[in-house]
Amino acid sequence: MIFDYFDGLTEAVEFLVALGSIVGMLGLIVGILGWLVLGQFQRHKMVPVIIVSIILLTVCGVHTGIKYFRIY
């Protein structure tokens, strides 16, 4: 019974790491596109998005979300 709890907990952590990886990739894409397209005054708002996305990708890994959700 206790092993079922830890098994479910492991799956939940794995899902959160994969979700963080996908959110990091999408944030990086949106941040770079926003930085390229938006005006100079609003570009400063995209820098924190890019930084947080890079941190998420560093912590969660780049390919973790792709393998977990089977995105090819």
What are 45-65's pLDDT values in tens digits?
899 999 999 999 999 988 888
Axis crossing angle, helix 2-37 with helix 46-60, rounded to the nearest 10: 150
Which pLDDT belongs to residue 50?
93
Predicted confidence at residue 15, as pLDDT, reads: 94
Question: Do the beta carbons of residue 59 and residue 20 sit within 8 Å?
Answer: yes
Q: For residue 43, what pLDDT is reported?
A: 85
**Segments in the chain below pLDDT 70:** 1
Residue 61 is predicted with a pLDDT of: 87
Q: Please state, in angstroms and rounded to a whole number, the distance separating the CA atoms of residues 69 and 37.
A: 30
